[in-house]
Chain A
Amino acid sequence: MRLVYALILMAGLAAVVADHLASPSSARAVSPEDFAGACALRRAVPVGAEEITLSSS
């Protein structure tokens, strides 16, 4: 199991680094709004705020 872990750890970190170097990273990290497109009209407007954007984990 240790060997499997060592291989996955190395491959995983290499993949993240390669992806980071090859992909744009234009702005501050944000939480993706993974269903905002489908629920664009479903908005809750709390007291004291203009708008809350739908988002999820």
Chain B
Amino acid sequence: MTTTTLSTSPALPRLDWPFLIAAVLGTAALVALVTLDGHPASAALVVLGFALGVAFLKAEFSFTAAWRRFLTKGEAGGLLAVLLLIAVAALVIVPVAALVPGFGGAIAPIGPSLVIGAFVFGVGMQLANGCGSGTLYTAGGGSGRMLIALALFIVGSVIGSLHLPVFLALGGVDPILASAYFGPWGGLAVTLASIAAVALVVALIAQVRNATFKPRPLIVIGAIVIGALSIGVFLAGHHPWSVTFGFTVWGAKLAALAGFDFSGAAFWQWPGPKRALAESTLSDTSSLTNLGMILGAMAAAAATKPFAHTPWPPARSLIAAAIGGLLMGWGARIGFGCNIGAFVGGVASGSLHGWVWFAAALGGCAIGIRLRPLFGLSRE
């Protein structure tokens, strides 16, 4: 007589075919549209955005949670992973932006506009529980809460675009770029040294607070992959990866469709924004990667579980998401970008404004964390 042992194999992931197919077909359609127009670099940006969406979702890479854990508990693993991501990106961005014609870094003046915008953004990212890239991949990944944050992010960024000229008029210091002072390779060395110095300070603070500063392996892999993909975005778009300008363009196009006249708005008369508003959404690099990222996160989520099957969160949480989205949108426009465009892009370009943005946004995060309980959200 033989006995048979019945074993239960691990449950296979449940594919959500409708959303998986829709995400893949949507991406293919965007790639086809820009390819037919003769813009292979734009197609590459959509594909890179798709890969970023997958990478962020699979690695659960979060700027917001990392900063919150650092501020509340002293845990520095997530923040160190972010610095690793920036260092990877800087290896290519600093020298190429300085040496190769047609390529440029993310640089900005340092003044009240940058500080105020980054601070407000920091408050918003803790209330929304996601930054620019976080909002994109969690909204794409099936979080209805973050869909609301995204919608208000778009509204806030359009309002910010109308206010930006006023804040710029407050003055400031010209952009300070490492490669302008030390050359392409010296600038890279200074940039990497500044990242290492900040990493050391962050690790020391964690040690003093008896908290861990070792990032989880998955986060380290995520940081390296996302850093490599951001290099790809830079090479395809000739500019560091950016997120929030796309939101501003989407909102302005919708507002214009509803009859809003932007001809009297100074921001929308500047060459870049004016062209972005007049031309196809797919002529803007940040829109290309944003759309790819949403669809990539959707595909990754739908490939592993039923998509968007969770119930809506409580109303207070949705209100926090809405307020947070609005603040982030406004702050991103006033402060020259989000974690990606201003912090990652700025520091990886060797621009001092990236560090100033980080410090101001971290201050805003401290306030945002204190406000979270008002909306039923944990401080941790």
State the majority secondary structure of interface residues on B.
Answer: helix
Which of B105, B288, B333, B345 contacts A52, CB < 8 Å?
Answer: B105
B232 at the interface (CB under 8 A from A): no
* Inter-chain contact B340/A57, CB cutoff 8 Å: yes
B284 sits at the interface (CB 8 A): yes
Please tell me if the beta carbons of A32 and B245 are within 8 angstroms of each other in the complex: yes
How many Å from the CB of B266 to the closest CB on chain A?
Answer: 7
Q: Do A31 and B280 have beta carbons less than 8 Å apart?
A: no
Asked if B275 is at the interface of the complex by the 8 Å CB criterion, the answer is yes
Instruction: Tell me the chain B residues, 137-186 only, with Cβ under 8 Å from chain A.
Output: 142, 144, 147, 161, 164-165, 168-169, 174-177, 179-184
A37: which B residues are within 8 A, CB to CB? 266-267, 269-271
Instruction: Give the distance in Å from the alpha carbon of A5 to the alpha carbon of B310 in the complex.
Output: 12
Residues of A within 8 A of B266 (CB): 37-38
A56 touches B342 (CB 8 A): yes
Give residues of chain B (195-250) contacting chain A, Cβ–Cβ below 8 Å: 237-245, 248-249
What residue in chain A is nearest B254 (Cβ atoms)? A15
Is B41 a contact partner of A29 (Cβ separation < 8 A)?
yes
Q: Would you call B307 an interface residue if the criterion is a C-beta within 8 Å of the partner chain's C-beta atoms?
A: yes
Complex contact B244–A24 (CB within 8 A)? no
User: Is B285 among interface residues, defined by CB-CB distance under 8 A?
Assistant: yes
CB–CB A47/B239 < 8 A: no
Interface string of A11-49 (1 = CB under 8 A from B): 001001101100111111111111111110011111111
Are the C-beta atoms of B45 and A29 separated by less than 8 Å?
Answer: yes
Q: Are B309 and A1 in contact (CB under 8 A)?
A: yes
- In B286-324, which residues have CB < 8 Å from any A CB? 286, 288, 291, 298, 307-312
| Distance A16 CA – B42 CA, assembled complex (angstroms) | 14
Q: CB distance A5 to B19 under 8 Å?
A: yes
- How far, in angstroms, from A5 to B238 measured CA to CA in the complex? 33
Q: How many residues of B contact A (CB 8 A)?
A: 91
Q: Which of chain B's residues has its CB closest to A54's CB? A: B107
Contacts A16-B291, A44-B175 given; indicate if A30 touches B285 (C-beta within 8 A).
yes
Q: Is the CB of B41 within 8 A of A56?
A: no
Interface of A is mostly: loop
A56 engages B99 (CB within 8 Å): no
Instruction: Produce 1/0 per residue, B7-46, CB < 8 A to A.
Output: 0000000000011001000100110011001010110010
A44 CA / B311 CA spacing, docked (Å): 50
Looking across the interface, which residue of chain B has its beta carbon closest to that of A26? Answer: B279
B363 CB within 8 Å of chain A: no
State which of A1, A25, A35, A46 has its C-beta within 8 Å of the C-beta of B37. Answer: A25
CB distance from B203 to the nearest CB of A (A): 28
Q: Which residue of B lies closest to A40 (CB)?
A: B270
Q: Which of the residues A2, A4, A47, A52 comes within 8 Å of B107, measured between beta carbons?
A: A52
Contact A57 B106, beta carbon cutoff 8 Å: yes
Q: Can you pick out 21 interface pairs between chain A and chain B where the beta carbons lie within 8 Å of each other?
A: A13-B29, A17-B29, A23-B280, A25-B39, A26-B279, A31-B238, A32-B249, A34-B245, A34-B267, A37-B267, A42-B174, A46-B180, A46-B187, A48-B179, A49-B101, A52-B105, A56-B108, A57-B242, A57-B336, A57-B337, A57-B340
Residues of chain A having any CB pair with chain B under 8 Å: 1-2, 4-6, 8-9, 13, 16-17, 19-20, 23-39, 42-49, 52-57
Which 10 residue pairs spanning A and B have beta carbons closest together?
Answer: A57-B341, A57-B242, A37-B270, A32-B272, A57-B337, A33-B272, A31-B239, A56-B336, A46-B180, A23-B280
